[in-house]
Amino acid sequence: MTPVRLWEHNLAKDEVRDLPYPFESVWDSALMILQQPGWNVVSADKGTGGLEAKIVMDLLTWTETFYVNIVRIDENATRVHMGRIGVSQPLDWGLAGQYIDSFLNKLESALKGAS
């Protein structure tokens, strides 16, 4: 009997970006982006650098929960790790990955604009 294959190639992959900005700036910008319409921040812990947000992927189908971990590398560099929690919808047509990329691109733009 052949084992059931997961649709691994359709799952959003976690993304990590190292940014040349201090933790405070990255945290504030990330929180600002996640407070935009469409995102629903369900937890934020600045002490651990952890954020959790829900987003409705499609009005008729499902909601995904994403996490953002923000880690201080040094005084002027911060690592941002983003992905989704669990797998609400195994076949998401790449939507989760698009939201992750969009968030990280907006974060980098916001930081560049603020410096």
Residue 3 belongs to some domain of the structure = no
pLDDT at 4 over 50: no
Residue 40 belongs to some domain of the structure = yes
Residue 14 belongs to some domain of the structure = no
Render pLDDT for 30-47 as a digit per residue (tens, 0 to 9): 999 999 888 889 999 999
Name the residue range of residue 69's domain.
Answer: 22-85+92-114
Report pLDDT for 90.
Answer: 56
Distance CA 107, CA 29 (A): 6
Residue 6 belongs to some domain of the structure = no
Residue 101 belongs to some domain of the structure = yes
The structural domain count of the chain equals: 1
Render pLDDT for 80-115 as a digit per residue (tens, 0 to 9): 999 888 665 555 557 778 888 999 999 999 999 976
Exposed/middle/buried for residue 96 (C-beta within 10 Å: 0-12, 13-18, 19+): buried
Residue 31 belongs to some domain of the structure = yes
CA distances from 55 to 58, 59, 64, 67, 97 (A): 9, 10, 6, 11, 13
Residue 67 belongs to some domain of the structure = yes
Distance CA 60, CA 51 (A): 26
The whole-chain average pLDDT of the chain stands at: 82
Residue 2 belongs to some domain of the structure = no
